Chains A and B, each alone.
Chain A
Amino acid sequence: MPMFQSLHISASALTAERLRMDVISSNIANVDTTRARFVNGEWEPYRRKVVVIEPRGEQFSSYLQAALGRTGAVGNGVRVREITDDPAPFKLVYDPDHPDAGADGYVRLPNVDPLKEMVDLIGATRSYEANVTALNASKGMLMKALEIGK
C-alpha cells in the first residue's frame, strides 16, 4: 500500500477544483464577449465552458492486493476528463447600435449566467477547503507515524 496515497488523492482533487475555478473565472470574464470564434465568416459569441470530472480508477496494485485478500481496492482520487461547451442557446438582446447586431437589431450574447457561475464558484471553493482539511489530516497522521518508537 503506497504510503502517501491519501495525500495524492487529496492533491488530485485540489488540482481539479482549481481548474474548475479557472474555468468559472473564464466564464465570468467573458460574460459580454461577442467575438470568441470566427465561424463561416461570422463572429460567434463565447460559449460557457463546463468542466467534466470523473473518479480516477483504482490502480492495478490495489486490485492485486484485494485479490490476495490483504486490503480492499480504494479509488485514486479525481481527474478532469474534458472541458466541454455548454450547448444552451445564446442570449438575445435588442441593441441595434452594437457592431455585432444582426439585421433584426438583436445581438447574440454568451450563454453565461453570472448567478450560476457564482454559485458554482462557491461550491468549488468549499470543496477545495474540504480537500485541504483532508490533506492536513493525512499529513498529521503521517507525521504522527514518524513518532513510533521515539
Chain B
Amino acid sequence: MSLFSSTIHWLEQGLRYASLRQQAIADNIANADTPGYKAKDVRFQAELDRALQLEAKRTDPSHFPFRNEQNGKIIVTTNANISYNHNGNSVDIDQEMSKLAENQIYYNALIERINGKFNTLKTVIKGGK
C-alpha cells in the first residue's frame, strides 16, 4: 500500500480538468465578439466515472492492469449547431460568466481538499502531536 492514496491522484486530475476548463471559458469570453466562433466546453466527469468502473480482475500479478493509464481523459467539445448571434457566434456570455464562477469555486474546493489530505498525512507523520 502506498503512502499517498489514490485520492490525491484523483484530486490532481480534477485540478487539471478545472484549469483546462478555465482556459476554455477564458477563450469563450475572449471570443464573445468574434464572428463565426463556436463556444467550447471541457468534459471530464463522465470519463472519470467510466475510468473508475473499468478495473479488471487480474489472475496473475504480472498481467498488465486493465486500467494501465490512471488519467481520466479530458475532452474538449464544440457545439457547432447553436448560434446566439447573427454573426454565427455561439457564446452565451451569461452562461460563460456563471461557468467561470462555478469553475473557480470547484477549483478552490479541490485545493481545500488536497490541503486537508496533506494535513492529515502531516498529522499522521507527526504522530498526532
Contact = CB atoms under 8 A, between A and B. Distances in A.
Q: Which 6 A-B pairs have the closest CB atoms?
A: A72-B76, A13-B30, A75-B27, A9-B26, A6-B26, A78-B30
Contact of A127 (B32, B40, B100): B32
B22 interface: yes
A11 to B, nearest CB: 9
Interface of A: 1, 5-6, 9-10, 12-13, 16-17, 20, 53-55, 66, 69-78, 123-124, 127, 130-131, 133-135, 137-138, 140-141, 144-145, 147-150
8 contacts: A10-B29, A53-B33, A70-B71, A131-B29, A138-B26, A145-B111, A148-B115, A148-B118
A75 B38 CA distance: 11
B29 A130 contact: yes
Contacts of B34: 53-55, 78
A55 B26 CA distance: 12
Contact of A130 (B69, B74, B97): B97
Contacts of B37: 55
Interface string B2-43: 000000000000011011101111110111111101001010
Interface string B38-61: 001010000000000000000000
A38 B56 CA distance: 78
Tell me which of B30, B73, B75, B108 has the highest count of chain A C-beta atoms within 10 A of its own C-beta: B30
A66 B29 CA distance: 22
A10 to B, nearest CB: 5
Contacts of B15: 145
Given A130-B97, A144-B111, A55 B31 contact: yes
B83 interface: no
Given A66-B76, A70-B71, A148-B115, A75 B20 contact: no
